[in-house]
Amino acid sequence: MPLGDNLGDKSDSRYCGVETEFNDDMPHVLSYNINGGFDFVVAPLMEPGYRSSLINNASRESSVLPFAGSDLVLSPAQWSSHVVGKISSWIDLDSEDDVLREDSEIALKQELAWASHLSLQACLLPTPKGNSCANYARCVNQILQNLNNMQLWLRIPLVKSDDDDDSVNGTSDGMVVELTDSWELWNSFRELCEHHSQLSVALDVLSSLPSVNSLGRWFGEPVKAAIVHTDSFLTNARGYPCLSKRHQKLLSGFFYYSIQIVLSGKAVHKLPAESSPSGSGQTDNYAQQAQRHEIRSYLDYVGYLYQKMEPLPEQERFELGYRDFLQSPLQPLMDNLEAQTYETFEKDSVKYIQYQRAVSKALVDRIPDENASTTTVVLMVVGAGRGPLVRASLQAAEETGRKIKVYAVEKNPNAVVTLHSLVKLEDWENIVTIISCDMRCWEAPEKADILVSELLGSFGDNELSPECLDGAQRFLKPDGISIPSSYTSFIQPVTTSKLYNDVKLHKDLLHFETAYVVKLHRLAKLSPSQAVFTFTHPNYSANKSNQRYKMLRFEIPIETGSFIVHGFAGYFDAVLYKDVHLGIEPTTATPNMFSWFPIFFPLRSPVYVKAGSPLDFHIWRCCGNTKVWYEWCVTSPTASPIHNSNGRSYWVGL
């Protein structure tokens, strides 16, 4: 039974599981827990006392492995939808005891082979027993090479001590592991397994939590489940289980990032007796208490937290299908946009409201009130598309009582057809002149007071706004106004295992050297963004080169711990006119605007950064006769190759 209804949320986080002990009566295990309100069980597949070395050679061939029942005791749909296999927790593939190590390898392969036979969607692997896990990772990596679609969840305790002393921590399956920072254990294991996309994490959430910065790293990792032990719950004033404020916030994060909750352990709260009327009602109440799942009160509390979450805003619901979906950036000069693309952008009313505000302020500054009825402002919309900026400019003129004459310049002949229809429909023929021409080639009959454009890309300048506006600047009077007047790109390092694996699927250099437009979701932002390139218009400087270079040093708080960088997220912020701005940089982003998703610059090999070490990033904006491109690299703590040298993989055509 899902935890509840949350508007717009169709993710896996609606489903809650429960960790069970070994029981060879799987139908009973499943029915008891499903009827108790859980959606799936995390159940051992093999009798925990079984060891291969205890079976003598004579009986080995005829013996039947002590699995938890035949595959026939549940339907294929039940196995697939309601059971996550739990690999035996005694397994220790890096033990110094040869017999235990060999038994562990045999058991791991037997249990995962059985899970694959059952078509389970996932199996929970036990936590590595020590800091060395090379043999364990080797065996898992071998299995991953030939695995079906099953995910392997590596159980990792959510631990990071605040000092350099080793701390001893228990996982909720009773195993003891010495760890300072459990992320290091996970990172070592996944590096040994070559960042395999079917290897993910099940976090053991304990009663104490690491710092907020340390926790944030995990949201960029492939965490599929969070195992919350009943020992981690506090008791509220009414005697029922509840979680600390920090645990509540963490679970809200898990819900948001589609991470499933699994409850583990026995009931440790003695619940208050429910008041009920005397007589038969009391008997019924006792019967209900007897039938009720022993940890149902913990499940009810998790459900309460889920239902307490704010529903997704309308914009986020609209963007759900775009989350972490890699898109190649537009080639606005080389290609003509399609009607569907225009329509999507035109629906962004917030953007055009900002443009209208900017044009209104510019008109008022340009023409004093006493000259409003006698002076006509020449306004040019360069890259007019199907006319939304023309409409916004005319509305600004009406709002301010200014007279304007509009030139709408558009190179796409298909959009020009729509523009002509719009002008005729709105009766703008005496105000708007349509120019079907590339702005870089047009010879204007007169100079403009105001030049309006919407040529910005996700990184500000990545759709060639500087080149286009430098070319169109000749239309502008010496004291003319450009809207936008300036824009700045921003960048920050991120952990995003999801995007890294999606790029890696292509198995080529080209895709690792391409900057993607993407609605970022499953990622950890490791440091605040920093400004990269700024362009100002009109640009009257003597050196008009649009080539740029920037080196940025990111200092990450030491309490974050070590982390891995899969790439860099890019944004922009634009000043349209004076105090009117729009942008997508996270700290200043224009609310409810969806025309731009961030840009993502991937790294061919993830970069490991030790706690407290700085991260040095370099980026170049390069200009040729026919194209503009970016090159980027990391030089500290280790050097990466320079990506996209000479624009060999990704460029924007002039």
Q: What backbone torsions phi and psi does residue 253 show, to the nearest 5 degrees?
A: -65, -40
Triad 466, 470, 471: Cα angle to 5°: 120
Triad 546, 549, 554: Cα angle to 5°: 140
Q: Are 254 and 205 in contact (CB under 8 A)?
A: no
In this structure, the number of other CB atoms found within 10 A of the CB of residue 310 comes to 9
- H or E element: which one contains 145? helix 134-145
Q: Are 579 and 600 in contact (CB under 8 A)?
A: no
Q: Which of 133, 183, 177 is CA-nearest to residue 158?
A: 183
Three-state SS letters, 196-240 = CCCEEEEEEECCCCCCHHHHHHHHHCCEEEEEEEHHHCEECCCCC
CA distance readout (Å), 157 to 251, 316, 320, 541: 15, 32, 30, 57
CA distance readout (Å), 446 to 378, 420, 439: 8, 21, 14
Q: Where are the beta strands (DSSP E) in 346-396?
A: 376-382
Q: What residues contact 88, with CB distance under 8 A and at least 6 apart?
A: 44, 46, 48, 50, 107, 111, 126
Establish whether 463 is a catalytic residue. Answer: yes
Rounded CA separation 606/565 (Å): 5
Instruction: Give the long-range contacts of residues 434-438, CB within 8 A, separation 24 or more.
Output: 434/384, 434/408, 434/410, 435/407, 435/408, 435/409, 435/410, 436/410, 436/411, 437/409, 437/411, 438/411
Catalytic entry in 463, 467, 585, 631? 463
Establish whether 454 is a catalytic residue. Answer: yes
Rounded CA separation 652/654 (Å): 7
525: tokens are 């932002």
325: tokens are 């979906």
Catalytic entry in 454, 467, 513, 631? 454
Q: Is 157 helix (H, G, I), strand (E, B) or coil?
A: strand
Q: Could you give the residue numbers annotated as active site?
A: 454, 463
